[in-house]
């Protein structure tokens, strides 16, 4: 049994030598437990403030603040468009009008 211990001891010695631990008194983990002190970290500087971004338009806000017109008897889309200085096609698109010839008295039109 004594020969087995010798082999293990020789194997450990070889392993230590291969890892650079030739000196038996050297504490292999000493550098891990007591590392070299480092410089105090420098706090990061505050970044320069950026300009405030321009607000984007919200389509819902446009609908709420958009000008409207209530259709009166005898009104036509051409007449309403001319009155407000807009294109007839823009008036049709803004109000999802399927048939421009069928305006209803009292109907609210959004003026784009």
Residue 108, both tokens = 């609210």
Q: Kindly state the DSSP code that residue 74 receives in the 8-state scheme.
A: T
Domain ranges of the chain: 61-111
pTM of the model: 0.44
* Fold classification of 61-111 (topology level): Membrane-bound Lytic Murein Transglycosylase D; Chain A (3.10.350)
Rounded CA separation 112/109 (Å)? 9
54-98 residue pLDDT tens:
766 655 555 566 799 999 999 999 999 999 999 999 999 999 999
For residues 55 and 50, what is the distance between their CA atoms, to the nearest angstrom? 15
Distance between CA atoms of residues 11 and 42, nearest Å: 48
Q: What is the DSSP string of 16-54?
A: HHHTT---TT--TTHHHHSPPP-PPPPPPPPPPPPPPPP
Q: Which residues, in sequence order, are CB contacts of 31 under 8 Å at separation 6+?
A: none
Q: The tokens of 63 are what?
A: 């609908």
- Listed range (26-30, 66-70, 102-106) with the worst mean pLDDT: 26-30
Higher pLDDT, 11 or 23: 11
| 3 state SS of 109 | strand
């Amino acid at each position: 049994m004594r020969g087995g211990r010798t082999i293990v001891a020789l194997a450990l010695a070889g392993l230590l030598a291969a890892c650079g631990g030739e000196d038996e008194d050297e504490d292999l983990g000493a550098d891990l437990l007591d590392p070299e002190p480092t410089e105090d970290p420098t706090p990061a500087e505050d970044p320069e403030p950026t300009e405030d971004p321009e607000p984007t338009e919200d389509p819902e806000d446009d609908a709420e603040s958009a000008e409207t017109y209530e259709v009166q008897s005898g009104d036509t889309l051409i007449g309403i468009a001319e009155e407000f200085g807009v294109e007839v096609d823009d008036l049709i698109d803004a109000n999802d009008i399927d048939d421009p010839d069928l305006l209803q008295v009292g109907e609210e039109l959004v003026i784009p």
